[in-house]
Structure 1
Amino acid sequence: MIERHPCVYILASGRHGTLYVGVTSNLLGRLHQHRSGGIPGFTSRYHVHRLVHYEVADTMEAAIAREKQLKNWHRDWKAALIERSNPLWDDLSPSLGLPPFLSS
């Protein structure tokens, strides 16, 4: 279970939609915050709630470094990264034990 491990993650509003790159040590908790509107801002404003990519890191410092790297990437590079392991941009939340995000 990756619940309490440092990781970087990418959320999307839909296939090839708006992207958000974040870092956390509690991915399940962070996803819940994004989806419940507990974090006002970008993800709630642009309806970016679908987990399309995540990477577990050995340390929080490594996860933060990877987040900074991804945030500096061109959009096309991020899309290619997502599509290598998730070509249909499916919501990966069910693989972590969460229900898929259903837009309202």
Structure 2
Amino acid sequence: MFTVYVLYSLTATRYYIGVTSDVAGRLRRHNSSHKGFTGKASDWQLVYTEIYEEKSEAMKRERELKSWKSRSCLEALISSAGS
């Protein structure tokens, strides 16, 4: 199983989209001090997930979400999952 996930940081006021087979472990690594995009903040929270059987499907969906380049579309997706 592979998970497409969206994180949000209140400090950075940014979203991050990724794929993993271990969401909890990946979130811990995002919140640890390191170089890279998510290393700038340590308050990343999981706000959205989608689960796929195949890694290729998950990576395709990740690319799709990243191609939106629209915060409002991403926020609409997140809120629709909560309703």
Give the 3-state SS of the residue equivalent to 1:50 in structure 2: strand
For 1:85, the aligned partner's letter is A
After TM superposition, what 4+ stretches of structure 1 lie above 3 angstroms from structure 2? none
**Alignment pair present for 1:45 and 2:40:** yes
**Once the two structures are aligned, what percentage of the paired residues are identical?**
38
Cα RMSD after superposing both structures: 1.7
- Name the counterpart of 1:13: 9
| Mapped contact 1:52–1:86 kept (Cα < 8 A) | no
| Mapped contact 1:12–1:20 kept (Cα < 8 A) | yes
Return the alpha-carbon distance in structure 2 between the equivalents of residues 67 and 80 of structure 1: 16
Give the 3-state SS of the residue equivalent to 2:64 in structure 1: helix
- Name the counterpart of 2:55: 60
Q: Deviations over 1:38-73 (max 9, x none)?
A: x52111214561110011111110000000000011
Structure with the bigger percentage of helix: 2
- Name the counterpart of 1:82: 78
TM-score (norm 2): 0.84
Structure with the bigger percentage of strand: 2
Return the alpha-carbon distance in structure 2 between the equivalents of residues 20 and 34 of structure 1: 10
Aligned pairs, how many?
Answer: 80
TM-score (norm 1): 0.68
